[in-house]
């Protein structure tokens, strides 16, 4: 089955994007390989160029780096971090993350739109992390986003698809890849999201906090693939308030 994920003109076979922020450097390589990951986030503060410990040294060859602007509190700071990532040789992909709420860590959609517009004009492949709001998503599309990354639940919570109905709206209305980012805590939740028709899943905490992170990465890989196949196959109908026999019952059990 040829079913590639296309973001900003770049093709990927895997629909599992790894958030690498919570892993030990030694674990990064094993998780990426077990998960079949082709794209992984990178916090610029972990790219300790010239230092003793550099996460870039633990990324397998061929991985597409997705620098994020974590720590940015407004559009100006996000743009500065993205430009720095490019100068460090991390490529043109960037995940815009603007958060100034220290309790719930919810993204600021307004500042994210501003950063998206600036960086898209500079040739970045911009993937904004956002609270799932249709109007904000449309603004991000108009600003030049290459994909939209709505949260499933507050970041790091492992609560799953708390924003399920809003993500469904984005899938139906936005003609860009919808990538669920933040909150997915189990492979079953990743599968459920893929069945909705989202293009990919980003996960970090669910894997980093598992007893066996490498094995959990494999579980997420299979769940994401399964959910995608179910979506492409077309899910069966749901029948309310009665049962329907799976075999013909003509002349049987009739009043």
* Burial group, residue 251, by CB count within 10 angstroms (0-12, 13-18, 19+): exposed
* Burial group, residue 197, by CB count within 10 angstroms (0-12, 13-18, 19+): middle
Rounded Cα distance between 54 and 171, Å, is 37
Rounded Cα distance between 65 and 237, Å, is 40
Q: Are 158 and 164 in contact (CB under 8 A)?
A: no
Rounded Cα distance between 184 and 144, Å, is 26
Residue that is written with structure tokens 């700071």 in the block: 77
Could you give the count of Cα atoms lying within 13 Å of 174 in the half-sphere of its Cβ?
31
| Selected catalytic residue, list 22, 33, 95, 103 | 95
Q: What is the DSSP letter of 163?
A: T
Kindly give, in sequence order, each residue whose CB lies less than 8 Å from that of residue 76, ignoring residues fewer than 6 positions away: none
Q: Is 33 a catalytic residue?
A: no
Paired sense of beta strands 5-7 and 149-150, if any: unpaired
Could you give the count of Cα atoms lying within 13 Å of 194 in the half-sphere of its Cβ?
27
Residues annotated catalytic, as ranges:
95
């Amino acid at each position: 089955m040829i079913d590639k994920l296309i973001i900003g003109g770049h093709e990927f076979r895997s629909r599992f994007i790894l958030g690498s922020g919570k892993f030990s450097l030694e674990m990064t390589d094993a998780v990426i390989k077990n998960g079949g990951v082709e794209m992984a986030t990178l916090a610029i503060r972990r790219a300790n160029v010239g230092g003793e410990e550099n996460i870039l040294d633990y990324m397998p060859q061929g991985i597409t780096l997705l620098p994020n602007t974590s720590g940015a509190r407004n559009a100006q700071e996000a743009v500065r971090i993205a430009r720095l990532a490019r100068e460090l040789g991390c490529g043109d992909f960037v995940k815009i993350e603007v958060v100034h709420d220290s309790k719930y860590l919810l993204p600021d959609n307004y500042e994210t739109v501003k950063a998206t517009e600036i960086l898209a004009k500079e040739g970045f492949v911009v993937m904004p992390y956002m609270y799932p709001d249709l109007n904000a998503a449309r603004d991000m599309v108009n600003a030049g986003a290459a994909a939209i990354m709505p949260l499933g639940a507050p970041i790091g919570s492992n609560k799953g698809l708390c924003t399920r109905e809003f993500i469904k709206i984005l899938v139906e209305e936005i003609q860009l890849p919808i990538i669920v980012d933040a909150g997915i805590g189990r492979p079953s939740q990743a599968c459920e999201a893929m069945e909705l028709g989202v293009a990919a899943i980003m996960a970090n905490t669910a894997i980093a906090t598992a007893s066996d992170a490498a094995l959990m990465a494999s579980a997420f890989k299979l769940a994401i693939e399964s959910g995608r196949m179910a979506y492409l196959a077309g899910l069966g109908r749901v029948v309310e308030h009665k049962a329907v026999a799976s075999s013909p019952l003509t002349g049987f059990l009739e009043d």
